[in-house]
Chains A and B, each alone.
Chain A
Amino acid sequence: MNAIILTATWGVVMMLGGAFIKSKSTPKYLAITGLVLIIIANCIQMNNGASFFTVDVKNMLVFDSFNLTFINVVFGCTLLYFLLNGRDIEKVGEHVSEYFALLFFILCGIAIISTFNSLLMLFIGIEIVSIPLYILTGSDKRNLKSNEAALKYFLMGAFSTGIMLLGIAMLYGGSATGSFFIENIISGNAPMPPLIAAGLVLLLVSMSFKVSAAPFHFWTPDVYDGAPTVFTSFMATIVKAAAFYAFVRLFENAFGSMHEQWQTLIVILTAATLLVGNLTAVFQQSVKRMLAYSSIAQAGFMLFALFALSNMAKEGLVLYAAAYSLASIGIFAILVRIRDYTIDGFNGLAKQQPVLAITATIFLLSLTGIPLTAGFQSKFYMLMAAVQNGHHTWLVIFAVLCAAISAYYYFRVIQAMFLRKVPEMPCWPKI
């Protein structure tokens, strides 16, 4: 509870503070302080279950230690994001404290979708996450691409929200007791009634939109490309990880007992996502777009959590979310500092900025999943969970072949940094 109330409050504080704060860098420090306090408050609740606020949530939210751990992971990544990108957020536009306020509202939504126990809370959480994101995508308001991205994102998002609502309504009507609680939707192992089946598919579609799983990924490259890079970084990592967590929680708790009946759907989604993400990423010339497609490809690996739906898979998802978010936040933070987003823009970076190039290499190696990096450990967990599941082992082999393809596009950037010549007019500033 601490996390939800405090993030919302802090968002309001940031927004009102914007009216009084003249200095441009104060909001950043205010936001970092607030986030540290919130993380501490969340840790307190995690350790002894004590919440600062006594709110009767009527069991619509559940605060078990796993959920709270995930919130901590996400907030920790956000803190890192603030620290790394604070200065770049200031550069996006005039209303710095409002950007931070919107980011805090998103965190509030993330806290809700990580703890929901009722479909209504899921819907509210998803909306709280999405609406600020639409604004942030369009925050570079003089840039046509940013405007286009925001509009596209809003239309697509509204569309998927509609589908989700329809699905929720069907589940409500189809469940035996007429309830929004996710564990009450299915009772026993009876065959799935048609209403429930339809609701399930609709929810699957709308959640796939949110996590940009193929074939519902078409908005992703345009939106990620058009949004200001700092916010792309946030969207592609933290928001995506949280959406995945909600996805898995929903399907595990609501439909877990019928896993075998919808596993085939997930298999198709996973295979399509891996294939589309990796193959399209190969052909990108812009690193930003390449990262957008690679985030689709990484989503394919995270879908293994839904495919396997075991404890190991859930642990693997948290690990994957953390490893992927850290590496992507890092690589985006470097990308912000480079003016030319094409792969050639990275040429010879190692000569001029060796430290930057080496850190970028480590992030890329982690994204590829080379041993001794967190990325390898998390991929390893996912593969273990999938093999343990025992069905569809071909999918695992398919996934590792796709991972081999991913080495191609990640290593192109490494090659550009280390092996190509410095251009005559380097387009990165001194740091």
Chain B
Amino acid sequence: MDPKNIWITFPELLTWFPLLAGLVAFFIRSEKSVKTWAIMAGLITLGISVVSLLYADPVKHLHLNNVSYFWLKNLGSNFTLGLDGMGRMLTVLTAISFPVIFIATYSTSYKNAHVFYGLMLLTQAGLMGVFTAMDVLVFYFFWELAVIPVYFLASRWGGERRILATFKFFVYTFAGSLLMLVGIIYVYMHTPGTDFSSHSFSMNAMYSALLSPTEKNWVFWLFFIAFAIKMPVFPFHSWQPDTYEQAPTATTMVLSGIMVKMGIFAVIRWILPIFPEAVLQFDNIIIGLSVVGMIYASLIAIKQDDLKRFVAWSSIAHIGLMCAAIFTRSEMGLQGVMIQMFSHGINIIGMWIVVDLIEKQTGTRKISELGGIAHKAPALTIFLVVIALANIALPLTNAFVGEFMMFSGLFGFNKIYTAVAGLSIILAAVYTLNMVQKVFYGETNAISAGMQDISLGQKLVLGVLVVFIFGFGVYPQPLFDLTKDTVAAILTRIN
């Protein structure tokens, strides 16, 4: 396509549209209209991202997917956005998640709903920016843009202990991102060139930075700590259960469904290509930490009584596996991470929707107080069981594909780690089935007696998620096709 005929590109549309929609939402005073507006905006973004899938050819549609304009020119930073395979997959995930979240939480009413939905859409814009940024300074800006609205969302509309919990979250991530900023500046100073106008923040320049092995070894940690806090990897995880528990459920869905992917995405996009030697040096430490985190989180998940904390800990266990698989640097492992990033996003959002439905109807999240919901709400139970099985990564579900590949990758790296990490599958089955059994089966009690089954709208939303679960469980090829170029490019750069 002739670049002259293109007046706007996909990454721009995906980023600016939610931003504009969010700013507009601040002025829609009526709660009902702002909800409709948010859903409409989410669906339009979804439409854009689906269309972008049709124009994904890296050569033919180059100018549709990449854009760059002058920004801080004398510092060598251009406002560069682009879509590659991995970025495209995550923008699609983001675009699917937001309308799903908005529709699923439609019945929740918020004080000052216009501010709530405005901030949610701003978060979406920030996430889209993170996934499309091709310049590390732009990436940093969007990284912060995604976090700050979440701070206000969680501390304004969250649970009782929200102020402390979100504060912890904010200080943690802020410290992390400042360390990353120092790292970014350090690498920038070593990009090819002699002065500020010839150094550059662009992705290619960062990739070809001339750092000595010692420098790489410590600058690596500046980046990794920032991303490890975001994922979170043991031992940087302590903000997460508190924040997930206290944040309003819609925000928790964004946090756990998409925002943790920012950390994984960033490791693949920035750490692997910039510091391949350091990755080689520290892979044992990091995989070790991840594996310890998996077992640790799984054990704690077994003992959780609060549904939200339960999901939070099980999520830490899953993320640990993804982090470990990245650092195996094998094609199998990386490809598995790609698949699992998408699947985990779908599954955990489904999980949260179910938790939210139960909490709204019964007023409690305590596993010990619930029971026998299956008698009252059979449809909900069916959906939950499907999602729960996906959480355990049973064959035919989407998570199986990813986890299988990640375990194969890990197996090629070190058999002992694989054996220990494999325990987490068993533990996952223990805690998930235990939860399903206690909450959904058994005798109906006073609290669950008033449960109603879900409405048609909720069935539709969960139905869409279940279609994704089985669809990609049986035929994951589209996800492979989308991301295999990124994986190949990263691997050639490392080896």
**Shortest Cβ distance from A98 into chain B, in angstroms?**
45
A312 and B141 contact, Cβ closer than 8 Å, known pairs A397-B182, A403-B178, A419-B156: no
A387 and B148 contact, Cβ closer than 8 Å, known pairs A408-B171, A419-B155: no
The docked-state distance in angstroms from the alpha carbon of A393 to that of B196 is 19
**CB-CB < 8 A to B174: which residues of A?**
404, 407
Q: When the two chains form the complex, which single residue of A312, A383, A388 contacts B181, counting CB atoms closer than 8 Å?
A: A383
A356 close to chain B: CB less than 8 A: no
Whether B170 pairs with A407 at a CB distance below 8 angstroms is yes
**CB-CB < 8 A to B196: which residues of A?**
312
**CB-CB < 8 A to B144: which residues of A?**
370-372
Whether A387 pairs with B141 at a CB distance below 8 angstroms is no
One digit per residue, 1 when the CB lies within 8 angstroms of any chain B CB and 0 when it does not, for chain A 150-175 equals 00000000000000000000000000
**CB-CB < 8 A to B162: which residues of A?**
419
**Shortest Cβ distance from A248 into chain B, in angstroms?**
20
**CB-CB < 8 A to A387: which residues of B?**
182, 185-186, 189
One digit per residue, 1 when the CB lies within 8 angstroms of any chain A CB and 0 when it does not, for chain B 145-177 equals 100100010011000001100010011001100
A418 close to chain B: CB less than 8 A: yes
Whether B189 pairs with A415 at a CB distance below 8 angstroms is no
B140 close to chain A: CB less than 8 A: yes
Q: Ordered nearest first, which 4 A-B pairs have the shortest CB separation?
A: A404-B175, A400-B178, A371-B144, A387-B185
**CB-CB < 8 A to A418: which residues of B?**
152, 155-156
Whether B148 pairs with A397 at a CB distance below 8 angstroms is no
Whether A370 pairs with B148 at a CB distance below 8 angstroms is yes
Whether B155 pairs with A415 at a CB distance below 8 angstroms is yes
The docked-state distance in angstroms from the alpha carbon of A371 to that of B177 is 11
One digit per residue, 1 when the CB lies within 8 angstroms of any chain B CB and 0 when it does not, for chain A 386-416 equals 0110000100110011011001100100010
Q: List 17 A-B contacts (CB under 8 A).
A: A370-B148, A371-B140, A380-B181, A380-B185, A383-B181, A384-B188, A387-B185, A387-B189, A397-B222, A400-B178, A400-B179, A401-B175, A404-B178, A407-B174, A415-B155, A415-B167, A419-B163
Which of B141, B144, B174, B196 has the most CB atoms of chain A within a 10 A radius of its CB?
Answer: B174
**Shortest Cβ distance from B162 into chain A, in angstroms?**
8
The docked-state distance in angstroms from the alpha carbon of A393 to that of B189 is 12
**CB-CB < 8 A to B141: which residues of A?**
371-372
One digit per residue, 1 when the CB lies within 8 angstroms of any chain A CB and 0 when it does not, for chain B 212-228 equals 00000000001000000
**CB-CB < 8 A to A372: which residues of B?**
141, 144-145
Whether B155 pairs with A404 at a CB distance below 8 angstroms is no
Whether A411 pairs with B170 at a CB distance below 8 angstroms is yes
Give 16 A-B pairs besides A372-B141, A372-B145, A419-B162 with Cβ atoms closer than 8 angstroms. Answer: A312-B196, A370-B144, A371-B145, A384-B75, A387-B185, A396-B182, A397-B179, A397-B182, A397-B222, A403-B178, A407-B170, A408-B167, A415-B163, A415-B167, A418-B155, A419-B163
**A-B CB pair tally, cutoff 8 Å:** 61
Which of B144, B163, B178, B185 has the most CB atoms of chain A within a 10 A radius of its CB?
Answer: B178
The docked-state distance in angstroms from the alpha carbon of A84 to that of B201 is 39
Interface size class of chain B, counting residues whose CB lies under 8 Å from the partner chain: 20 to 34
One digit per residue, 1 when the CB lies within 8 angstroms of any chain B CB and 0 when it does not, for chain A 339-377 equals 000000000000000000000000000000011100000
The docked-state distance in angstroms from the alpha carbon of A411 to that of B170 is 10
**CB-CB < 8 A to A415: which residues of B?**
155, 163, 167
The docked-state distance in angstroms from the alpha carbon of A396 to that of B185 is 10
**Across the two chains, which residue of chain B brings its CB closest to A415?**
B163
**Shortest Cβ distance from A419 into chain B, in angstroms?**
6
**Across the two chains, which residue of chain A brings its CB closest to B143?**
A371
Which of B144, B162, B182 has the most CB atoms of chain A within a 10 A radius of its CB?
Answer: B182
**CB-CB < 8 A to B178: which residues of A?**
400-401, 403-404
**Shortest Cβ distance from B133 into chain A, in angstroms?**
13
The docked-state distance in angstroms from the alpha carbon of A400 to that of B185 is 12
The docked-state distance in angstroms from the alpha carbon of A418 to that of B155 is 9
**CB-CB < 8 A to B171: which residues of A?**
404, 407-408
Whether B181 pairs with A400 at a CB distance below 8 angstroms is yes
Q: When the two chains form the complex, which single residue of B152, B155, B185, B222 contacts A384, counting CB atoms closer than 8 Å?
A: B185
The docked-state distance in angstroms from the alpha carbon of A415 to that of B175 is 19
**Shortest Cβ distance from A160 into chain B, in angstroms?**
33
**Shortest Cβ distance from A393 into chain B, in angstroms?**
7
Which of A371, A383, A393, A415 has the most CB atoms of chain B within a 10 A radius of its CB?
Answer: A371
Whether B167 pairs with A411 at a CB distance below 8 angstroms is yes
Q: When the two chains form the complex, which single residue of A393, A404, A407, A411 contacts B186, counting CB atoms closer than 8 Å?
A: A393
**Shortest Cβ distance from A288 into chain B, in angstroms?**
22
One digit per residue, 1 when the CB lies within 8 angstroms of any chain A CB and 0 when it does not, for chain B 421-440 equals 00000000000000000000
**Shortest Cβ distance from B16 into chain A, in angstroms?**
15
**CB-CB < 8 A to B167: which residues of A?**
408, 411, 415
The docked-state distance in angstroms from the alpha carbon of A102 to that of B182 is 42
**Shortest Cβ distance from A397 into chain B, in angstroms?**
6
**Across the two chains, which residue of chain A brings its CB closest to B148?**
A370
The docked-state distance in angstroms from the alpha carbon of A408 to that of B163 is 12
**Shortest Cβ distance from B423 into chain A, in angstroms?**
36
A400 and B182 contact, Cβ closer than 8 Å, known pairs A312-B196, A370-B148: yes
**CB-CB < 8 A to A411: which residues of B?**
167, 170
**Shortest Cβ distance from B59 into chain A, in angstroms?**
34
**CB-CB < 8 A to A370: which residues of B?**
144, 148
Q: When the two chains form the complex, which single residue of B175, B185, B222 contacts A383, counting CB atoms closer than 8 Å?
A: B185
**Across the two chains, which residue of chain B brings its CB closest to A397?**
B182
The docked-state distance in angstroms from the alpha carbon of A415 to that of B145 is 19
**Across the two chains, which residue of chain B brings its CB closest to A311?**
B196
**Shortest Cβ distance from B138 into chain A, in angstroms?**
11
**Across the two chains, which residue of chain B brings its CB closest to A381?**
B75
The docked-state distance in angstroms from the alpha carbon of A352 to that of B10 is 43
One digit per residue, 1 when the CB lies within 8 angstroms of any chain A CB and 0 when it does not, for chain B 355-370 equals 0000000000000000
**CB-CB < 8 A to B179: which residues of A?**
397, 400-401
The docked-state distance in angstroms from the alpha carbon of A407 to that of B186 is 23
The docked-state distance in angstroms from the alpha carbon of A372 to that of B185 is 17
The docked-state distance in angstroms from the alpha carbon of A148 to that of B182 is 42
**Across the two chains, which residue of chain B brings its CB closest to A402?**
B178
**CB-CB < 8 A to A408: which residues of B?**
167, 171
**Shortest Cβ distance from B122 into chain A, in angstroms?**
12
**Shortest Cβ distance from A116 into chain B, in angstroms?**
29
The docked-state distance in angstroms from the alpha carbon of A323 to that of B367 is 52
**Across the two chains, which residue of chain A brings its CB closest to B151?**
A411
**Shortest Cβ distance from A367 into chain B, in angstroms?**
13
In A241-285, the 8 Å CB interface with B consists of none
**Across the two chains, which residue of chain B brings its CB closest to A389?**
B189
The docked-state distance in angstroms from the alpha carbon of A387 to that of B182 is 8
The docked-state distance in angstroms from the alpha carbon of A304 to that of B186 is 16
**CB-CB < 8 A to B182: which residues of A?**
383, 387, 393, 396-397, 400
**Shortest Cβ distance from B407 into chain A, in angstroms?**
36
**CB-CB < 8 A to B140: which residues of A?**
371
